[in-house]
Amino acid sequence: MSKYDVIVLGSGPGGYVTAIRASQLGLKTAVIEKESLGGVCLNWGCIPTKALLKSAQVFEYLKHANDYGLVVKEYDKNFDAVVNRSRNVAEGMSKGVQFLMKKNKIDVINGFGKVKPGKKVDVDGKEYSADHIIIATGARSRELPSLPQDGEKVIGYRQAMTLKKQPKKMIVVGSGAIGVEFAYFYNAMGTEVTVVEYLDRIVPVEDVDVSKQMEKSFKKSGINVMTSAEVTKVDTSGSGVKATVKTKKGEEVLEADLVLSAVGIKTNIEGIGLEDVGIAVDRDKILVNNYYQTNIPGYYAIGDVTPGQALAHVASAEGILCVEKIAGHNVEALDYGNIPGCTYASPEIASVGLTEQQAKDKGYEIKVGKFPFSASGKASAAGTKDGFVKVIFDAKYGEWLGCHMIGAGVTDMIAEAVLGRKLETTGHEVLKAVHPHPTMSEAVMEAVADAYDEVIHL
C-alpha cells in the first residue's frame, strides 16, 4: 500500500491547487482523478465557456463594425469551429495542470476514489493511505423533477458546450451565472433565446439595480426574459421541446429545439465512502470547521462539497488554507463576506460584499454612490456604455460595505474592491487614490465620489 502525507480526492481548481500547495510545503502528495485533470472548471466550466463567450464577442464586433467606422462586407460563423476552439483551450489548460503535477512531484492516480476508515482511500480496488485525506469532488448540474435531463433535448452545461448543431430556438431555465452566460452566447451566435427565472428578477443574487440593468441589456439584445415563471413540465415527444411555463398570468407553452437546465448544482458526494467513514453531511454538503476538518480526524473537505460559495476561486483559497493549517502554519480563516462573484455574459457582472438592501437590513446608515459608464470617456471610446459601478459605504465609519458592477471588463475591475475591503480601506482613501484616465476603473473612484457628493463627471 502506497503511503502519503496528503491525498486529494478530485483535481478541480480546489483539488489541484491544494495538491500543489501541499507539495510546496514539503508534504508527499497524491491526487486522485476519475476524468481529466483540472476537473469541471478547466474542462467543462470556467475556462471553455470563456472561450465560447470570446468567440461570441468577436462575432458581435463584426456585426457592429460600422459603429467603429469599419466596413466588413462578408462575415459568418462556423459553429463547429467555435466549439472546437473552446475544447482546444480546455485541453491546453488540462495539459498545463499535468505539467504542474510533474513539476511539483505529485503522484496522479487515475480512477474513482472512495474514502475508507483508517485514513485510507480505495481507487478501483487498490488501496492508498495518508495522514490527511482531502475531499474535493466538486459538483454537477442539478436536475429538477419537472425538468429531467436526457442529454439531447433537455441538457445541462456540459452538453451546451459541445452541441453538434446550433439550435434555432433555445429555452434557458435559471438565470444565475451559468444561465445568463449561455443565454448571451447563443443569442449572440443567432439563436432565439428565452430565459425563464423562478424568482422575480434575473441574476437574483445580485444587487437589484444590477438585475434591472441586466434585464434591460438582454432585452435590447433580443433575449426574451420571463421572471416569476416556472417550467412545470416538458414534452420531448416531438421533433423539438414543448415547455409548459407557469406565470402570474397563467400557463404558457413555449416551443424550442432544446431546453438548457441551469438551475444550480448538485454535489458529488454519493458513493465516495462518507457513510463508511462516518463523515457528517447536512443537506448535500459535508460539514467542516474553519480549517476544513470534518468531524472525523484526518479527513477534510473543500470546494463545492462544503457549505461555502460554489466558486472556483473559493475552492482554491480553501484548499491552500487547509494544507497550510495541516503544515502547522498560523492561518486566518477565510472571510466569506469578501468573496467576489463574477458573471461573464455581456455586459459582465462583478460584485463583492453587501447589496444595498442587505446593508439596510443589517441596520447600517449608508452612503450609496453610482457612476454610469455612459459618462465614462473610456467606455464611450470603446462603444461599451451599458452599465455602472455602484458602491455602498457605512456613513459612520466609512467602511466599504459593498461594490457592484455591470459593464464591459468589470470582472477584471472588482479586485480593487476586494483588496480595499480586505485592507479596511475607507471611502475617503479610495477617493484620494489617483486612478488612471481614461480607464474603466476610474468609474470606481467616480462612484465613491458620488457617494460623498464630490463627483466631477456626472
50 is in an annotated binding site: yes
Q: How far is CA 210 from the centre of its chain?
A: 17
CA separation for the pair 215, 223 (Å, rounded): 9
**Helix or strand or coil: residue 46?**
helix
Residue 235: how many CB atoms within 10 A of its CB? 13
Residue 1's pLDDT is 66
Measured in Å, how far apart are the chain's first and last C-alpha atoms? Answer: 68
pLDDT in tens, 226-271: 999 999 999 999 899 999 999 999 999 999 999 999 998 999 999 9
Domains of the chain: 2-140+266-336 (3.50.50.60), 154-260 (3.50.50.60), 347-451 (3.30.390.30)
Q: What is the pTM of this model?
A: 0.94
pLDDT of residue 458: 81
181 assigned ligand-binding residue: yes
- Is there a binding annotation on residue 261? no
The candidate with the shortest Cα–Cα distance to 195, out of 179, 177, 211, is: 179
Catalytic-role residue among 64, 329, 428, 437: 437
Question: Residue 39: what pLDDT?
Answer: 85
Nearest Cα to 385, choosing from 406, 364, 415, 369?
Answer: 406
User: What is the tens place of the pLDDT at every residue in 2-30?
Assistant: 899 999 999 999 999 999 999 999 999 99
Predicted confidence band of residue 41 (pLDDT cuts 50, 70, 90): confident
* Cα–Cα dist 47/67, whole Å: 30
pLDDT digits (tens, 9 = 90+) for 128-172: 999 999 999 999 988 888 899 998 999 999 999 999 999 999 999
Contact in structure between 455 and 449 (CB atoms under 8 Å)? yes
**Alpha-helical runs (H) found in 131-250:** 157-160, 177-188, 208-220
179 annotated as a binding-site residue = yes
pLDDT tens profile 261-298 = 999 899 999 999 999 999 999 999 999 999 999 999 99
Once rounded to an integer, what is the mean pLDDT over residues 366-374? Answer: 97
C-alpha cell recorded at residue 438: 481614461
pLDDT tens-digit map of 171-210: 999 999 999 999 999 999 999 999 999 999 999 999 999 9
Q: What is 351-365 written as a DSSP string? A: EEE--HHHHHHTT--
Consult the annotation and say whether 197 binds a ligand. Answer: yes
Which residue, among 198, 255, 213, has the nearest Cα to 389 in the 3D structure? Answer: 213
76-83 long-range contacts, CB within 8 A, separation 24+? 77/189, 77/190, 79/163, 79/165, 79/166, 79/189, 80/164, 82/52, 82/55, 82/189, 83/52, 83/161, 83/162, 83/163
Name the packing angle between helices 15-24 and 312-326 (round to 10°): 30
Q: Please check if 125 is assigned to a binding site.
A: no
107 is in an annotated binding site: no
**Residue written as grid cell 502519503:** 4
Question: Is 176 annotated as belonging to a binding site?
Answer: yes
Q: Can you give the pLDDT at residue 76?
A: 95
Q: What is the pLDDT of residues 399-418, one digit of tens each?
A: 999 999 999 999 999 999 99
Q: What is the mean pLDDT of residues 213-237?
A: 96
369 labelled as ligand-binding? Answer: no
CB atoms within 10 A of CB 418: 18
Residue 437 known to be catalytic: yes
What pLDDT, on the 0 to 100 scale, is given for residue 125? Answer: 93
Closest CA to 169 of 235, 229, 243, 220: 243
Please tell me whether 264 is known to bind a ligand: yes
DSSP 305: G
Closest CA to 315 of 325, 329, 324, 305: 305
- Mean pLDDT of all residues in the chain? 95
User: pLDDT-based confidence at 36, cuts 50/70/90?
Assistant: confident
Give the E-state strand segments of 168-312 in sequence order: 169-173, 192-196, 224-226, 230-235, 241-247, 250-256, 258-261, 265-267, 281-282, 285-286, 299-301
Query: Does 59 score more than 70 pLDDT?
Result: yes
Q: Is 83 annotated as a binding residue?
A: no
User: How confident is residue 457, by pLDDT bands cut at 50, 70 and 90?
Assistant: confident
